[in-house]
Chain A
Amino acid sequence: MVQQAKTAATREAVGPTLVRLTREGLDIVVVDADLGYSTTTALFGREFPDRFFTVGVAEQNMIGVAAGLAAAGKIAFASTFAVFAPGHCFDQIRMAVAQPGLNVKLVASHGGVVTGEDGASAQAIEDLSLMLSMPGFRVIVPADVVEAEQAIEAAARSYGPFYIRVVRPKIPVIHDGSYRFQLGKANLLRPGSDVTVMASGVMVKAALDAAELLAADGIDCRVLNMASLKPLDEEAVLAAAAETGAIVTAEDHLIHGGLGSLVAQCVATQRPVPMAFVGMDDRYGTSGRWDQLLEHFGLTPQRIAEAAKETLARKSA
């Protein structure tokens, strides 16, 4: 069990979880492209040196080596920053992992603008769009360190390609030890009947805070944690559309190609309702502290609450 704390970076779950699962007998190997210290896979490397393969700063090779290890029967984890994988190696992931459907788990850290001070080049805000574009890939964005540990375990215990996005800064822990992540299932964090906010990653806490703001105005807001982007819990999405009649999505990612697009496609084809999208609006990030950046780019409870009210206005119009 990853140590409980009020805040923790979701990346902190990576190394310890892989160590635990390997001790439990899973045939895990890890390929590292010189970021094991940052992604925490170095903890695995220290524990299982024979199972830890460094390839240097060479992400394309990292993906190919992981694919080969997987084809030989291993549960192959490859880990680096999201700007490098998928950023540096989309085609390698596509042809060597996605198309053959090999048992490779890509754990990408430093997702989103919350990566912070390193600036736009280091902030992956288009990674989910790239990964969701590949048939057969499961895509998970854990909301906190508790969920990250369970998502990594779920990926390790399920055959086939996974993408798990974790983040650099210490963000609020919202789940307790009793929480159970389920692949393909949305997690209802707050019931509500007027509007639903569907959020992923760091924006789940913002969604909960937005629901408090809305409650003060007499608006009953449902909050769903959509950690499992793919497979998407269409049942929960359609139920929210039917029961609350308005949907806001919130994510630390471009509003195109991520959670918002997935939900919109589902809703548009099966149960159209007013929607609004909170995310990065067709622009790149900039340097700054992670919490300042969320504020700067409008990834806030206030913006989510405003968006919810906009959808409510359209619902009644």
Chain B
Amino acid sequence: MPSKVNVDELQAIARRIRRNIIGMTAAAQSGHPGGSLSCADIMVAIYWGLLRHDPRNPHWPERDRFVMSKGHASPAMYATLAEAGYFPTEELLTFRQLGSRLQGHNVIGKPPGVEMSAGALGMGLSFSLGLALAGRLDGKDYRVYCLLGDGDCQEGQTWEAILAAAHHSVDNLTAIVDRNHIQNDGFSDYARFPGGNGQRPQRPGGWVREDLHTVNVMSLDPFPEKWQAFGWYVQEVDGHDIPAIIAALENARAHRGQPGVVIAQTTKGKGVSFMENNPDFHGKATTPEQTEQALQELAD
């Protein structure tokens, strides 16, 4: 970890990013705050912990590449880039509006610093693998980071990329999974379902609750074992412990001969009491009253 920043400062940055996520989705009255809040600490760990980049020179050829595969978390991407100095924070309030660079799902180069378009899940890791292979071919020492969500890891293409990255022994690539266990329809698996207690459900497959949330949409567990079996260097970490995330990413960076994955256990909606572990806020903005409460809870 760079010595200039301490943990308190990093946490303060994460709170600002979270406030901006709430603010921009509330202003747009649409967007995906839940999965943006869940990855805010991961974003801080990457951008302030170890990413080699220069906000004044976003096309710097030697830069590390950060690829956001879970494109619905574009508020986290934009809030991070603004906080890092890529563009003025005020622009965040144009999110999702006609004429804005800040599209509903991130678009390559808009603004500079966004490395790839996203929105359809499952594509980021393949793209990241291509960047990593090109870097190796060109003898460059940049590193590629790819942030995936639970939904990304249900797409077959992600597993194609997992297979291929290990096959090619690509060790300049680190995947990070924002494992919040919630997706559009409900709970990805039984682990976070209230009352689920991590036990396997008695009923096989998924089913729909009275409130129309699906329980156990698609289990990924045993998740670390799957990556391991595919030939990756696997670490699990508390996805809201910034120093721990940075340490894991540093381990992955130092690891040779295999791609690395950091499975970050996170809480969807992290930092706002009524949003935490609540599938309702996967793709819905807060009301004015909720916005006020959320910003209070995220205050310094």
Contact = CB atoms under 8 A, between A and B. Distances in A.
A joins B in a complex: yes
Chain A binding surface, main DSSP class = helix
A68 B119 contact: no
A299 B108 CA distance: 43
A74 B127 CA distance: 13
A191 interface: no
A96 B126 contact: yes
A69 interface: yes
Contact of A61 (B120, B138, B164): B164
Contact of A64 (B108, B119, B125, B135): B125
B10 interface: no
A255 to B, nearest CB: 30
B160 A68 contact: no
B169 to A, nearest CB: 12
A297 interface: no
Interface in A69-110: 69-74, 76, 91-92, 95-96, 99-100, 102
Nearest to A33: B160
A100 B117 contact: yes
A60 B120 contact: no
A213 interface: no
Nearest to B142: A72
Interface string B97-136: 0000000000111000001111110111111111111110
Contacts of B85: none
A51 B130 CA distance: 12
Contacts of B133: 29, 53, 65, 68-69
A61 B160 contact: yes
Contacts of A95: 117-120, 123
- For chain B, which range describes its interface: under 10, 10 to 19, 20 to 34, or 35 or more residues? 20 to 34
A77 to B, nearest CB: 12
B137 A68 contact: no
Given A95-B119, A100-B116, A70 B130 contact: yes
Interface in B141-185: 156-157, 160-161, 163-164, 167-168
B80 to A, nearest CB: 20
Given A58-B163, A96-B117, A99-B117, A64 B131 contact: no
Interface in A52-70: 53-56, 58, 60-61, 63-70
Contacts of A100: 107-109, 116-117
Interface centre among A69, A72, A95 (most CB of B within 10 A): A72
A68 B123 CA distance: 10
A100 B67 CA distance: 14
Contacts of B118: 95
Nearest to B105: A95
Interface string A4-38: 00000000000000000000000001010000000
Contacts, number: 107
Contacts of A96: 116-117, 123, 126-127
Contacts of B131: 68-69, 71-72
Contacts of B109: 100
A176 interface: no
B107 A68 contact: no
Given A56-B164, A61-B126, A68 B117 contact: no
B134 A72 contact: yes
A32 B109 CA distance: 27
B164 A65 contact: yes
A71 B127 contact: yes
Contacts of A53: 133, 168
A282 interface: no
Interface string A233-275: 0000000000000000000000000000000000000000000
Interface in A125-145: none
B134 A58 contact: no
A106 B288 CA distance: 48
Contacts of A65: 126-127, 129-130, 133, 161, 164
A278 to B, nearest CB: 36
A66 B130 contact: yes
Contact of B126 (A68, A70, A74): A68
A64 B130 CA distance: 7
Contacts of A55: 160, 164
5 contacts: A53-B133, A58-B160, A70-B130, A73-B138, A92-B123
Interface of B: 107-109, 115-120, 122-135, 137-138, 156-157, 160-161, 163-164, 167-168
> Which 8 A-B pairs have CB atoms at the shortest separation, nearest pair first?
A68-B130, A64-B126, A72-B134, A61-B160, A58-B160, A60-B157, A65-B130, A68-B127
Interface of A: 29, 31, 50-51, 53-56, 58, 60-61, 63-74, 76, 91-92, 95-96, 99-100, 102
